Amino acid sequence: MTGSASFSPEHAPLADFMSFAVPVARGDVDASSAVWQEIQREGTKILCPAKSFIDLSGPRLFDMYFLEKGRVRILFDTLDGRQRALMTFEPGGIFNLACALTHRNASGQYYCVEDSVIWRIPGSVLQDARAVAACPALAAYALTQMGTVTLIHSTFLSDMLMDEFTIRFCRYLVSLAARHGSTEFPLGLTQERCAATFGVHRATLGRAIQYLKRQGVLESFRRGRVCILDMERLRRMAGV
């Protein structure tokens, strides 16, 4: 029986107008499950102290790693020399799956936030049908974990794009208000047409509108009436 994977955010707002978070990937593996038995059979137990980086040099790069205990975080260096966290793994999480499956390197380093117990499992377990047949529970669990990580990356990317669009949308509202000389004016076009002007999906515009409404910045954004409630905050969010 395999456990189910899940993820949740560690709330860490980085801006007044959009909250980013470091997503968390975890799993649920019962001590008596087939997954756990296969991990112990195929894997090698590693003890990693807090504040250490996991060595993925040489052949280790193409293995996968199951976190039994502790917390491991993916860190990467930005172009301006700062270090950012991309994702955190908690017990039950499997990391480095992309490298194990594709035999290709990836950016980022795995950092142990606290003392961690990790099982190193040969990536060859997932390389061919015969190996998968020998570890069906582990293969199914790894697939679920890969889906979770993919969803996290997709959501994170969407949030980044949403943040960029929210800034553009705020600047658009500021320019409209300046053009009309008022915080209340007719839009003059449908939301669908407005979204097409921005080059985004109608749903993306809708999320930005709802976000600004929740923040108390915008009351209405319709063809016949746009009403801005807090012009000062709108300017701050637009960065103007």
Query: Taking the domains of the chain in order of start, what are their residue ranges?
Result: 6-157, 164-238
What's the CATH number for 6-157?
2.60.120.10
DSSP class per residue in 151-189:
HHHHHHHHHHHHHHHHHHHHHHHHHHHHHHTSSEE---S
Q: Which residue has the higher pLDDT, 18 or 219?
A: 219
Q: Residue written as tokens 């949308």?
A: 169
Q: Is the pLDDT reported for residue 189 higher than 80?
A: yes
pLDDT in tens, 112-136: 999 999 999 999 999 889 999 999 9
**Identity (one letter) of the amino acid at 115?**
D
Q: What span, in angstroms and rounded, lies between the C-alpha atoms of 182 and 227?
A: 9
pLDDT of res. 161: 59
Residue 220 class from Cβ within 10 Å (0-12 exposed, 13-18 middle, 19+ buried)?
Answer: middle
* Polymer length of the chain: 240
Query: CATH topology of 6-157 equal to that of 164-238?
Result: no
Residue 23 class from Cβ within 10 Å (0-12 exposed, 13-18 middle, 19+ buried)?
Answer: buried
C-alpha distances (whole Å) from 167 to each of 15, 39, 104, 127, 163 are 11, 46, 36, 44, 6
Q: Which residue has the higher pLDDT, 69 or 166?
A: 69
Domain 164-238 -> CATH class:
mainly alpha
pTM: predicted TM-score of the whole model, two decimal places: 0.62
pLDDT in tens, 138-179: 999 999 999 999 888 776 666 555 668 888 899 999 999 998
CB distance 70 to 115 below 8 Å: yes
Mean pLDDT of the chain: 86
Q: Which residue has the higher pLDDT, 35 or 158?
A: 35
Q: Is residue 21 very low, low, confident or very high in pLDDT (cuts 50, 70, 90)?
A: low
Q: Is residue 83 very low, low, confident or very high in pLDDT (cuts 50, 70, 90)?
A: confident
Q: Which residue has the higher pLDDT, 15 or 109?
A: 109
Q: Residue written as tokens 């980022």?
A: 108
pLDDT of res. 10: 39
